[in-house]
């Protein structure tokens, strides 16, 4: 039976793009076999599936091939890269929100690419902002690309990085996601169709869909990570989502150290020695307290 990739899910239908060797190259509209419901499994956009063609030109999803990853929000399979778009100006850089996104990406087990947008809006005396942010996060181990949809800065680097990947785009509100994708990747997306609104704001795209790039990559056009509320994350898991904490945390005096006040805490020591950025540690403390407060409420 032929294999393919689910590129869209809408109203109980799954739209499967056949593999190169399939008898047809056109997208096949499929229903899923009832057995999935009995097993409590649903096909997801991004799933590589086995399907069969029916007499009416449609198809049936018969099997789901093993997944590399699975996200709950947005519901998508096999995404390995999260591209976090944050503007350097208009709106100004928000490191606390960036760190919150990074915590969720680490917890989901995806690779993160930080994409700093609107570099063209920086005045000459503000160039250091991009340099400082890029340096801080590269030292932690994250990939950072500085971009501008106006000048084309970072265009080729970003396109090359997306090749062959299923990528989820998310980030700061008002960052100009559609403008970036249109200018850099030759897409024709309506600005309202891929809103970067955080929270439960209006979003015209109510379904998940993969947009194919010419280099074999796919971008997930989704409502994004709609709720960054830490409800899916245990407070004891938080420090492991700050990747630069991990080597120091293993050397702490007390097992289960919260890295807030315990004697012999190596994370606090590393922060005091400048090995961990002050802003990152401050955000860790804020998130820890936020999670504790939510736990009390629920």
119 is in an annotated binding site: yes
- CB of 142 closer than 8 Å to CB of 111: no
- Please tell me whether 226 is known to bind a ligand: no
42 among annotated binding-site residues: no
The answer to whether the annotation marks 172 as part of a ligand binding site is: yes
- Is 120 annotated in some ligand binding site? yes
Q: Is 30 annotated as a binding residue?
A: no
Q: At a CB cut-off of 8 Å and minimum separation 6, what does 30 contact?
A: 13, 14, 15, 16, 51, 58, 59, 60, 61
Residue 176, annotated as binding a ligand: yes
Do the annotations mark residue 29 as ligand-binding?
A: no
Angle at CA 6, nearest 5°, toward 57 and 3?
Answer: 70
Task: Identify which of 175, 22, 170 has the alpha carbon closest to the alpha carbon of residue 108.
Answer: 170
Distances (CA, A) of 178 to 35, 174, 190, 191, 278: 39, 10, 7, 5, 33
Helix (H/G/I), strand (E/B), else coil: 219: strand
Q: Is 266 marked within a binding site?
A: no
Is 259 annotated as ligand-binding? yes
DSSP per-residue codes, 235-274: GGGTGGGSTTTHHHHTT-SSTT--SSS-TT-HHHHHHHTT
Q: Distance between CA 118 and CA 182 in Å, rounded?
A: 14
Does 87 count as an annotated binding residue? Answer: no
Cβ-based neighbours of 204, under 8 Å, separated by 6 or more: 190, 192, 193, 195
Residue 253 annotated as lining a ligand binding site: no
118 carries a ligand binding annotation: yes
286 assigned binding-site residue:
no
Closest by alpha carbon to 211, among 267, 265, 169, 262?
169
173 annotated among ligand-binding-site residues = yes
- In the DSSP assignment, the letter for residue 50 is E
Q: Which helix (H) or strand (E) holds 107?
A: helix 95-108
Annotated binding site: 117-120, 171-179, 252, 257, 259, 265
Annotated binding site for Zn(2+): 252, 257, 259, 265
Annotated binding site for GTP: 117-120, 171-179
């Amino acid at each position: 039976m032929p294999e393919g990739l689910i590129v869209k899910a809408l109203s109980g239908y799954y739209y499967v793009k056949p593999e190169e060797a399939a008898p047809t190259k056109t997208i096949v509209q499929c229903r899923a076999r009832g057995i999935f419901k009995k097993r409590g499994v649903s096909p997801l956009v991004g799933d590589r599936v086995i399907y069969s063609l029916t007499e009416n030109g449609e198809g049936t999803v018969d099997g789901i091939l093993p997944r590399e990853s699975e996200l709950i929000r947005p519901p998508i399979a096999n995404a390995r890269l999260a591209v976090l778009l944050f503007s350097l100006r208009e709106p100004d850089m928000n490191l606390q929100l960036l760190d919150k996104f990074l915590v969720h990406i680490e917890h989901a087990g995806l690779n993160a690419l930080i994409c700093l947008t609107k570099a063209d809006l920086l005045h000459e005396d503000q160039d250091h902002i991009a340099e400082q942010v890029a340096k801080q996060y590269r030292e932690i181990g994250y990939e950072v690309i500085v971009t501008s949809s106006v000048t084309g800065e970072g265009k080729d680097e970003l396109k090359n990085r997306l090749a062959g990947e299923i990528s989820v785009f998310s980030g700061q509100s008002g960052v100009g996601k559609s403008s970036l994708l249109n200018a850099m990747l030759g897409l024709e997306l309506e600005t309202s169709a891929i809103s970067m609104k955080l929270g439960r704001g209006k979003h015209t795209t109510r379904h998940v869909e993969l947009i194919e790039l010419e280099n074999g990559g796919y971008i997930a056009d989704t409502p994004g990570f709609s709720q960054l509320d830490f409800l899916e994350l245990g407070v004891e898991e938080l420090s492991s989502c700050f990747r630069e904490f991990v080597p120091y945390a293993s050397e702490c005096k007390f097992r289960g150290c919260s890295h807030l006040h315990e004697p012999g805490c190596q994370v606090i020591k590393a922060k005091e020695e400048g090995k961990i950025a002050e802003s990152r540690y401050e955000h860790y403390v804020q998130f820890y307290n936020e999670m504790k407060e939510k736990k009390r409420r629920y």
